[in-house]
Structure 1
C-alpha cells in the first residue's frame, strides 16, 4: 500500500510546481516583444526609392488602470515611425481603462490608422473556468457594457478610421491602400456581405481586418483577392508549449497559425500574440505579449 506520507509529499510537490508555473506566467506579462516580418507585396516602383512601407499591428491590449509598463512600451512604438497603424481590437479589460488606452496609443493616434473591435471592447470580462478554455469551448459573454463608444469617438477624432463592415481607400506615404474589415467573428458579429467583393484593382496594397481569425471570414477575404489579413484574439495561445506552440486558439484557425505570419491560400495572414490578457487570467506561458511590425517591400 502507498503510504499516506508519500501521497502528501506528491501533493505538496504538485502544489509547488503549480505555484511556480503560475508565478512564471505572471512574470511574463510585461516582457513585451516586437516581432518583425518582411513581405514583398508591392509592385516595383511603388515605394519611389523608399526601403519599405511599414505597418504596425497592435491588438488585445486588454487594458486595466495602472498598467504603466504596458502604456510606456506601447507609446514608445511610435519611434518606429510606422506608415500605418492597425488595431484589431480587445483594447479594454475594465470599464475605467479608456484613458489608459488613449495614453498608450496616444502618439500612434496621430499617424494614419484603422481599427476593428473585438467582443471585449463591447463587454467586460468575467471569471471563467480555465478548463473550459483549454477544451476550446466558446464562453458566454458577460453582457456588461464597456465604454467603447467613447473610445471609438476618440480614435476617430484623432484620425483613425473605423473599418468595421466598411471598405476604406486612402493613400499614405505614397501607397494606395484598400482596406476592408468586419466585426468580431468570435461571437458571429461579422457580416461579410457588407464588404464583399474584390478590392479596388488600382490599390497598391489590400488589407483585411478582423479581430478573431475564423476560417469562414478568412476564406471570403482570400477568395476576394486580399493580399494580407491581420487578426488578434488568440493571444498566440496564451498558455503554450515551449517555442510558442499553441495548445488551443480560441477560434477555428489551426494551432500552427495561432500566431505569426503564414500563408492562407493565396493570401498572407498575420496573427499577433497581442499585448494583454483578461484581468481574470493574468498569465502567459511560453507566449510573451507582442506587437508586430510588417515591412512591406517591392517584389523582386
Structure 2
C-alpha cells in the first residue's frame, strides 16, 4: 500500500470515528424510545395491568426535552409505575425530576435508589468501563437523597429500599419487595424473608403476584429474588451497555449479568424456578459521558396479562 493510500485509509477511519461520536452524542442520545412487551403472570381471570418502567434518567435541570418526553408518557394511562433508580444526575436534578414526574401523582408506584441518587456524577475515563464494573470515586458530592425520597413518597409511591409492601392495583394483589443499590453494596437481602413473612401474617386474600425490584441486576440479587418467589423482576443500571456494536450487542454490562440479558425482557432461571426479568436500558447518561451508540434511551411499558 502506498503512503498516500495509507494516509487516505487512516483519514477515512478517523472521519468515521468522529462521525460516530457526533451521532452518539447529538442524535442517538436524544432518540427517546418506548419499548413494549407483554408478560403473562397475573392470576387467571385478572384484568390486564399496564406497568411503566422508568430507570436511569440521570436528570440534570437543563434537560427539558427529556422532561417533556417523560411527561407525555402520561397519555399511555399507566396503572402502575416501577422506578429502578439513578434518577438524579446533578445536584439540582430533583427539579428536573419534579418537572417530569408531577403528572404521575396519584398513580400507584414503587421505587428503589441507585448510587447516583446518593452521589453526584464525576469524571471517569470511559475506557475503564471495558475493564469491568465501574469503580467508585473517592471524592464525590453527596446528593439530597432524602428530598428525592420525600418527593416520591408525596406522589404516593412505595419505598422498596430493603423493604416489602403489599398493594392492590386494578384488582390484583401484589407483594413487592426490593433492595437498595447492590452496586454500592447497600442491599440487605437478609431482611427480605422477614419482610415478606410480615406481609402475609395478617393478609389472607386470594391469589397474588410477587414482584422484585432492584437497581443493579447482579446475579446474586436475581437468584435471591427468584428463591423468594418473585415472578417478575425489574432492574436498570446497565444502560443496555450504552455503547453497542450492531449485530453483536453490548460490549459491557457494568455488572455480572450476561450480555444477552443486558436489556429487555428475558427469563432468569435459578434452581428449579424462574422469573421474567425486565432490564431497562434507561433514559439518560452521565453528564460526563453523554453518548449512546446502537442503544437508544428507553422507557418500557409492560402489559401484565393472565397466566395461561
Q: Which residue of 2 is the match for residue 130 of structure 1?
A: 126
Q: Deviations over 1:138-178 (max 9, x none)?
A: 32234311122111111102211111011110112111110
Native 8 Å contact 2:43 2:207 kept in 1? no
3-state SS, counterpart of residue 248 of structure 1: coil
Match runs of 1:200-239 below 5 Å: 200=200, 202=206, 204-239=208-243
Q: Which residue of 1 is the match for residue 43 of structure 2?
A: 43
Deviates more, 1:257-266 or 1:15-24: 15-24
2:291 aligned with 1:292: no
**Structure 1 unpaired stretches of 5+:** none
Q: Deviations over 1:205-251 (max 9, x none)?
A: 11100000000011001011110000000000100011581111001
Native 8 Å contact 1:46 1:175 kept in 2? yes
Native 8 Å contact 1:46 1:204 kept in 2? no
Deviation of residue 96 (structure 1)? 1.2
Deviates more, 1:108-117 or 1:190-199: 190-199
1: CA distance between counterparts of 2:74 and 2:38? Answer: 19
Q: Which residue of 2 is the match for residue 253 of structure 1?
A: 257
Flag the 1:73–1:182 CA change in 2: closer, same or farther, 3 A.
same
CA RMSD of aligned residues (A): 1.8
Provide the aligned length of Structure 1 versus Structure 2. Answer: 295
**Structure 2 unpaired stretches of 5+:** none
Deviation of residue 287 (structure 1)? 0.3
Q: Which residue of 2 is the match for residue 78 of structure 1?
A: 74
Flag the 1:78–1:244 CA change in 2: closer, same or farther, 3 A.
farther
Q: Which residue of 1 is the match for residue 30 of structure 2?
A: 30
1: CA distance between counterparts of 2:17 and 2:224? Answer: 43
Give 1:157's match in structure 2, choosing from 154, 159, 162.
154
Scaled by the length of structure 2, what TM-score is found? 0.91
Native 8 Å contact 1:42 1:205 kept in 2? yes
3-state SS, counterpart of residue 102 of structure 2: helix
Deviation of residue 8 (structure 1)? 4.9
2: CA distance between counterparts of 1:280 and 1:6? Answer: 36
Deviates more, 1:242-251 or 1:66-75: 242-251
Q: Which residue of 1 is the match for residue 135 of structure 2?
A: 139
2:71 aligned with 1:63: no
Native 8 Å contact 1:274 1:289 kept in 2? yes
3-state SS, counterpart of residue 60 of structure 2: coil
Q: Deviations over 1:78-106 (max 9, x none)?
A: 11111110100001111011111111111
